[in-house]
Amino acid sequence: MSRVSVFAPASVANISCGFDVLGVCLDNVGDILHIEEVSKSGIEITEIIGQDLPLKATQNVAGVAGLALLADYGHNKGFQIQIEKGIKPGSGIGSSSASAAGAVVGINHLLGNPYTREQLIAFAMEGERVACGTAHADNVSPVLLGGFTLVRSVNPLDVVTLNSPLELVFTIIHPEIEVKTADARAVLLDKLHLKQAVAQTANLGALVTGLFKEDYELIRRSLVDHIVEPVRSMLIPGFNELKNRANEAGALGTGISGSGPSVFALSKGMDTAQKVGLAMQEVYDEIGVPYNTHISPINAKGVKIL
Ligand code: HSE
């Protein structure tokens, strides 16, 4: 076996109250990577279809993640990677994480799976470092493990898989502008008020509990962000109106997807998620912002070997 194709899904990080710690894997939007073992050692990115991204392995998230795995594994192995980008970079639904996670799952598969999915997180995080300057794990963890995950610590790496109620559906609206994660991180304040930290911790604990108890009202009450949303929402056209209309249409909660500009709404059931999508689209139609939308149940498995 010397060639494999993988589907690497998009993800939503932060989920309102879990900045840099919570994430969830989406189902029907993602990148496809074709990976082949070759005799020349190292990683070569042969082609990127759909987006203009660096081909040089040391500048490409999939290349960097793959090289991190190979540096640990040894044995002078080599792989070529072709990437079909289904996720737009800078859209806020884990574009770099999908490519990084897809690369390490595919290479690991061709090596005979020497690493567990949990162990692959550390390699995929190196891809995040090259993408935005910080090796955060809140997108790569759900993409590798599936469902909702919580990153308790990145050093040492400690990731917890949470319960993923089957009825939850995400509606994502992406205003067609690009916000680089590095820029969206640069606007954040370094210091917090104790009251903000207390409120955020309370909501995060309650949201995790709501997921485990499948208590949708508790999930609704907990989807509040006192720290990041007030600052970053200024980068997103019509954010407050999107949020109000999505929640009026029945969403449990609405917030910024990762570092934005995509906005997520979380709903119970597909019908509500679709109504919420229409309500959000109306907002952008009214103010003339071009957009695309995705409606996705939760993907409990993560990256898939095709
Ligand atoms: N937690 C990260 C952030 C996710 O919000 O900056 C970026 O994809």
The verdict on whether omega for the bond into residue 156 sits within 30 degrees of 0, i.e. cis, is yes
14 lines ligand 1 (CB under 6 A): yes
* pLDDT at residue 106 greater than cutoff 70: yes
Rounded Cα gap, residues 265 and 256, in angstroms: 9
46 a catalytic residue: no
Reported pTM: 0.95
139 lines ligand 1 (CB under 6 A): yes
Task: Convert the pLDDT of each residue in 6-49 to its tens digit.
Answer: 999 999 999 999 999 999 999 989 999 999 999 999 999 999 99
Distance 104 CA to ligand 1 centre (A): 20
Catalytically annotated residue among 149, 171, 181, 254: 181
- Per-residue pLDDT at 1: 54
Ligand 1 atom with the shortest distance to the CA of 188: 6
Confidence band for 128, pLDDT divided at 50, 70 and 90: confident
201 a catalytic residue: no
Ligand 1 atom with the shortest distance to the CA of 256: 5
Pocket test for ligand 1, best of 132, 154, 229 (most atoms within 8 A of CB): 132
Distance 175 CA to ligand 1 centre (A): 17
- Per-residue pLDDT at 179: 85
Q: Which residue has the higher pLDDT, 177 or 60?
A: 60
259 lines ligand 1 (CB under 6 A): yes
Catalytically annotated residue among 128, 149, 171, 229: 128
Pocket test for ligand 1, best of 11, 22, 129, 259 (most atoms within 8 A of CB): 259
Distance 264 CA to ligand 1 centre (A): 14
What integer is the mean pLDDT of 179-190? Answer: 88
- Per-residue pLDDT at 134: 79
Task: Convert the pLDDT of each residue in 205-220 to its tens digit.
Answer: 999 999 999 999 999 9
